[in-house]
Amino acid sequence: MKRRTMAGFSAFVLAIGPAASLFAADGVVKFGVSSSKSGNFANVGTSTKNGAEMAKQEINAGGGLPIGNKTYTIELVYVDNGSDRSSASANALTLIGQHQVLAIVGPQSSDRAIAVGEVANSFKTPLVSPWSTSPLTTQNKPFVFRMPVMYDIQATATTKFAAKEWKARKAAVLYDEISPYPTGMAKAFKQAFEKVNGPGSVVAFETFRTNDADFSRQLQAIINSDAEFLYTPQHYEEVPLIVRQARKMGWKKPITGSNSWSGGDLAGKCGDACNGLYFTGNFAAGGAQGKAKVFADHYQKQYKMLPDEVSALTYDAVHMIAEALKKTGGLTGNIVEDRSKLRDQIAATKRFEGVTGTMGYFGTGDPTKCTVLIKIDDNGLLTDYDKVCPEK
């Protein structure tokens, strides 16, 4: 009788297919995902969720995550930080204190990642920001990690590219002085560019404030200078406005930027105005090969759109944490101890092969990996144009 019940149960489990792993697992590991479902970065929030969900489904459908001699399913707890620093910090406290998550993925933008990183580090909870490039995010925070390449590496790559592609020796910069990411990126670029082309080679260094929409005053100053290209490390909300206004005011020289361009639907918002522009980043769906190609195809099939940098980095972040969890050799059930074990394993990562390239942490919070030069092609598709890798 009992055997028959078991057989019936197994048949039921087999019948419902992919969910079978849910019954087979010995437990659940919870990750928190802090992203923007609302506010200026809602688009980034969608990419975050898509990437994270895809990684989760792959792991759970493959029979769960083996840690020690047990198998776990992954559960993701999403919180909406509303693209706001204060909400992001408060949400992180909820994830740590109430949901008791093992690790946090996100926030994406440095503005939130720096603030939340401070909280996660103080609460000894591993945090992986898939997209934040500001050095401050991981500085003196052993529990905080990032997925993308940092400011200085991108700045050097842009400087080299400008010399090679445009023979440019003078640059103009336009950035949002309140938000930490554009500020940090702009300063890093100025430093890298002037190191190569001499002090004063950044001939215009113009600022605006978050939520500004009129850049005519700053653009006029840039047009009046003898800059050979414009560098604007802004997000997809501002870049189309800046490009259109600059073109309208008669600026015909190149406009370039950093990985913040690749989050959200920049090409869609900008239309033809942005076609042919280059920027530095971590991933582009166009021209993807190998693992990245498989990911891009799978993603397109599931969400009816191409993956952007944020979704690819988030996908990699979830897989990278899962790999580190496997290496812990078993969970104690005491969340404080397990978090420390997980942190040690993430920091010890030497070679993780993701869809955004191969990377390692080697005891730090910043990955060693290649920078990608991305071109917006004539159809508005972000394509992998070139790579600049760390010297070995």
Kindly list the residues in this chain that would bind other proteins in the complex (CB under 8 A): 85-87, 89-90, 93-94, 96-98, 115, 118-119, 121-124, 177-178, 207, 209, 334-336
Q: Which is nearer to other proteins, 69 or 98 (CB)?
A: 98
Q: Minimal distance in Å, beta carbon 13 to other proteins?
A: 32
**CB crowding 41-57: b at 16 or more within 10 Å, else e:** bebbbbbbbbbbbbbbe
**C-beta of 272: minimal distance to other proteins in Å?**
34
First to last CA, the chain: 66
Which is nearer to other proteins, 124 or 327 (by Cβ)?
Answer: 124
Which CB sits closer to other proteins, 5 or 98? 98
In the bound state with other proteins, the residue whose beta carbon lies nearer, of 121 and 371, is: 121
Distance CA(308)–CA(314), nearest Å, equals 10
Question: Per-residue DSSP letters for 191-237?
Answer: HHHHHHH-TT-EEEEEEE-TT----HHHHHHHHHTT-SEEE----TT
User: In which element (H, E) is residue 358 found?
Assistant: strand 357-359
247 in Cβ contact with 272 (< 8 Å): no
Rounded to whole angstroms, the Cα distance separating 245 from 231 reads 15
Q: What is the spatial distance between Cα 180 and Cα 216, in angstroms, rounded to a whole number?
A: 23
Q: Shortest Cβ distance from residue 90 to other proteins (Å)?
A: 4
Residues pairing with 105 in the sheet: 33, 128
Between 124 and 160, whose beta carbon lies closer to other proteins?
124
Query: In this structure, what DSSP letter does residue 30 have?
Result: E
How far apart are CB 94 and other proteins at their closest, in Å? Answer: 7
Report, in Å, the least distance between residue 78 CB and other proteins: 18
Nearer to other proteins, 177 or 272 (CB): 177
**Closest distance between other proteins and the C-beta of residue 122, in Å?**
3
Which residue lies nearer to other proteins by CB, 118 or 308? 118
What would the two tokens of residue 210 be? 């978050």
Q: Which helix (H) or strand (E) holds 111?
A: helix 110-122
DSSP state of 360: B
**Min CB(284)–other proteins separation in Å:** 32
* Angle at CA of residue 94, ends 89 and 95, nearest 5°: 95
